[in-house]
Chain A
Amino acid sequence: MSRLTGKFAELAKAGRKALIPFITAGDPNPDFTLPMMHAMVAAGVDIIELGVPFSDPMADGPVIQRASERALAHKMSLRKVLALVGEFRKTDQQTPVVLMGYVNPIEAMGYENFANAAQQADVDGVLTVDLPPDEAEECVALLKARGIDPIFLLAPNSIDERIKMMDAAGSGYLYYVSLKGVTGAGHLNTADVETKLKQIRGNTKLPVAIGFGVKDAETAKTVANLGDGVVVGSALISKIEAHQDDLATAQQQIVELLAAMRQAMDS
């Protein structure tokens, strides 16, 4: 059983929902990320999504775009993100780590080289925003053969047929993007998400994490009640952006926000 599948099974048994923070690796500099990952685990998160910076983050709003730019200014790269996960694993063999990014850095490395390197670094899942299952056959096979879960996105306008496709291609969990738009945008409509989740559940047994529009403890609690996990990204990265000159404060505020979300979700 993969670490991700195990984690969701364990949470389900305990009647809890997964708290999944997203940060961009190397933002605002490469030294910040590793201690931040450990601090997030200490704050009670279940899974870490680590953004691989890309020069053209087409599905991201301004907050994550700028995070990518800061990381790239420090020459962060897919290879370095993989090395970072390897470092993390030296002291944490429990927390699943999912890489999230765009397909071109993986294409540049080569699918097979990447799959091997991800296995070696002990990566648990790979979410590639612009690699839908229609184009992902080769990559999915290589990842699955190495026990790595390919994670796919679902959108508010995904029809049954698409959800079934994700169910077949994906493993670990599915990521429901709760609104039409880029990361960091707008407010999510609870009733809409609830309706959509019913449709999704009718087409897959995989756990469903919900992201986009989760800002604070209150939204985290609301969303947690609808799915199996909550992804929070831009709200964390905004703290990094606001405190670039005082990263201890950035880390502290992220930890506090996650701890508050954890508490709200578990209460």
Chain B
Amino acid sequence: MTEKYNMPDTRGHFGPYGGIFVAETLMPPIQELNAAYQRYMVDPEFIAELDADLKYYVGRPSPLYHAERWSRELGGAQIYLKREDLNHTGAHKINNTIGQALLAKRMGKTRIIAETGAGQHGVATATIAARLGLECVIYMGAVDVVRQSLNVYRMKLLGATVVAVESGSKTLKDALNEALRDWVTNVDNTFYIIGTVAGPHPYPAMVRDFQAIIGREAKQQCIEQAGRLPDALVACVGGGSNAIGLFYPFIDDASVAMVGVEAAGDGVETGRHSAPLCAGRPGVLHGNRTYLMEDDDGEIIETHSISAGLDYPGVGPEHAWLKDTGRAQYVNITDNEALEGFYALTRMEGIIPALESSHAMAYTMKLAPTMSKDKIIIVNLSGRGDKDMQTMAQREGIML
């Protein structure tokens, strides 16, 4: 790339993607949020407070770990894991949640709402709300409430109200719908902390900017440890926040390949999957234009994935743009393949990954052997597997 990457434009467009597609009542709070975001992202005091929280509360920087045994076993490229699983609350989600909560505080909002799929974003939000003494309501699809019950308990412990959403497919997209309805109703005192790089502008850009710490650290750590930039980056893509967080600081480094891994569920060919970039088409949902899983009439179709955090029919608009421009590639991994990734990392490195992150691990198992031993892959280990113990034990026929 000759010109420096500079997306989105001032109206939140990544080429044809992104934008602000919302009901009129949400326009004023979105403009208010955008003004606050523009102001505080360059405010030294805000940045200092955020950095201190990330260091002392979250535990950053997270390590970049050379998975030597696994790399040797696979016989190809050297695999480095970006250990977002070691963050407080167990996933990358908190990087963004802290940032938005600090904004909420400065904007004088007293009530925080969020949607959650796997519950990681819900837990991260409930955590910050507890710390800042803010009222917190988390919307979660009724299906996800069952399969991520441990996280539901954590959120309640932290003092949040968890609302099980019974409409539509009862998963992440419906939780988002319900959170938007809450926001429309309570715009005056409520801050909506969206958990991924989706939603109307400025969310995709703002969440990316809060998550970009992943890539900034990884870049510096890779240079320190290996003496050079990596050859490839791999991350799972639900809404796409952990992926863009890793990718973004490398976009202008043309030698670094970027691969986003979508959830293929039972297999893309079965139609039972969550892979809009691989098998969907552009449309408008939840405030932005992006790739979606929809039928011929433009109705959103149900998604399937073993991991609640990837079970979403859309994807952040910046990924749609990176796909169309060819700067990033998007592949998909089935439930069964993800399980292989889950077991491999657990047995080979003693690290139990989240089922979401396991998709990135599974693709790495395919990619590494095709590369020579002097190549470097950085894989985003976006979260730890504690929350998935129930699901995994059940699959193995064990009652906990």
Is A134 on the interface with B (CB-CB < 8 A)? yes
From 18 to 35 in chain B, residues with beta carbon under 8 angstroms from any chain A beta carbon are: 19-25, 27-29
Is B297 on the interface with A (CB-CB < 8 A)? yes
Is B395 on the interface with A (CB-CB < 8 A)? no
Residues 212-238 of chain A, each 1 if its beta carbon lies under 8 Å from chain B, else 0: 000000000000000000000000000
Interface size band for A: 35 or more
Is A55 on the interface with B (CB-CB < 8 A)? yes
Residues 183-210 of chain B, each 1 if its beta carbon lies under 8 Å from chain A, else 0: 0111110000000000000000000000
Residues of A near B282 (CB, < 8 A) are: 107
Is B72 on the interface with A (CB-CB < 8 A)? no
Residues of A near B285 (CB, < 8 A) are: 56, 104
> In the complex the two chains form, is B173's CB within 8 Å of A56's CB?
yes
Cα distance A12–B173 in the bound complex, in angstroms: 44
Residues 174-200 of chain A, each 1 if its beta carbon lies under 8 Å from chain B, else 0: 000100111001000000000000000
Is B298 on the interface with A (CB-CB < 8 A)? yes
Is A6 on the interface with B (CB-CB < 8 A)? no
**Neighbour of B20 across the interface among A62, A102, A134, A181, CB < 8 A:** A134
> In the complex the two chains form, is A105's CB within 8 Å of B298's CB?
yes
Q: How far is the CB of A55 from chain B (nearest CB, A)?
A: 4
Cα distance A103–B298 in the bound complex, in angstroms: 9
Interface size band for B: 35 or more
Is A59 on the interface with B (CB-CB < 8 A)? yes
Is A106 on the interface with B (CB-CB < 8 A)? yes
**Given known A-B contacts A65-B167, A157-B187, A104 and B24 have beta carbons under 8 A apart:** no
**Neighbour of A130 across the interface among B181, B287, B292, B297, CB < 8 A:** B287
Nearest B residue to A152, CB-CB: B24
**Given known A-B contacts A58-B23, A157-B187, A109 and B298 have beta carbons under 8 A apart:** yes
> In the complex the two chains form, is A177's CB within 8 Å of B20's CB?
no
Is B131 on the interface with A (CB-CB < 8 A)? no
Cα distance A56–B314 in the bound complex, in angstroms: 12
Q: How far is the CB of A228 from chain B (nearest CB, A)?
A: 18
Residues 122-133 of chain A, each 1 if its beta carbon lies under 8 Å from chain B, else 0: 000000011110
> In the complex the two chains form, is A56's CB within 8 Å of B300's CB?
yes
Cα distance A72–B187 in the bound complex, in angstroms: 30
Cα distance A141–B254 in the bound complex, in angstroms: 40
> In the complex the two chains form, is B181's CB within 8 Å of A157's CB?
no
Is A246 on the interface with B (CB-CB < 8 A)? no
Residues of B near A134 (CB, < 8 A) are: 11, 19-20
Residues of B near A245 (CB, < 8 A) are: none
> In the complex the two chains form, is B298's CB within 8 Å of A106's CB?
yes
**Neighbour of A159 across the interface among B28, B168, B177, B298, CB < 8 A:** B28
Is B278 on the interface with A (CB-CB < 8 A)? no
Q: How far is the CB of B311 from chain A (nearest CB, A)?
A: 15
Is A108 on the interface with B (CB-CB < 8 A)? yes
Residues of B near A105 (CB, < 8 A) are: 297-299
Is B272 on the interface with A (CB-CB < 8 A)? no
> In the complex the two chains form, is B25's CB within 8 Å of A108's CB?
no
> In the complex the two chains form, is B297's CB within 8 Å of A135's CB?
no
Cα distance A156–B184 in the bound complex, in angstroms: 11
Nearest B residue to A57, CB-CB: B177
Cα distance A183–B296 in the bound complex, in angstroms: 27
> In the complex the two chains form, is A108's CB within 8 Å of B184's CB?
no
> In the complex the two chains form, is B298's CB within 8 Å of A107's CB?
yes
Residues of A near B185 (CB, < 8 A) are: 180-182, 185
Is B251 on the interface with A (CB-CB < 8 A)? no
Is A8 on the interface with B (CB-CB < 8 A)? no
> In the complex the two chains form, is A153's CB within 8 Å of B181's CB?
no
Is A162 on the interface with B (CB-CB < 8 A)? yes
Among A56, A69, A153, max chain B CB count under 10 A is at: A56
Is A154 on the interface with B (CB-CB < 8 A)? yes
Is B284 on the interface with A (CB-CB < 8 A)? yes
Cα distance A102–B177 in the bound complex, in angstroms: 13
New A-B contacts (16) at CB < 8 Å, excluding given A59-B23, A131-B284, A135-B20: A55-B168, A56-B285, A58-B180, A102-B284, A103-B21, A104-B294, A105-B297, A109-B298, A130-B21, A130-B23, A154-B24, A157-B187, A162-B28, A180-B186, A180-B188, A181-B184
Residues of B within 8 A of A (CB): 11, 19-25, 27-29, 167-168, 173-174, 177, 180-181, 184-188, 282-287, 289, 292, 294, 296-301
List, sorted by A's number, 23 A–B pairs whose CB atoms are closer than 8 Å.
A55-B168, A55-B299, A55-B301, A56-B173, A56-B174, A57-B177, A104-B283, A105-B299, A106-B298, A107-B284, A108-B298, A130-B21, A153-B23, A153-B24, A155-B28, A156-B25, A157-B29, A158-B24, A162-B28, A180-B25, A180-B188, A182-B181, A182-B185
Q: Which 8 A-B pairs have the closest CB atoms?
A: A108-B298, A105-B298, A77-B297, A155-B25, A181-B185, A55-B299, A59-B23, A153-B24
Residues of A within 8 A of B (CB): 54-59, 61-62, 65, 69, 72, 77-79, 102-109, 129-132, 134-135, 152-159, 162, 177, 180-182, 185
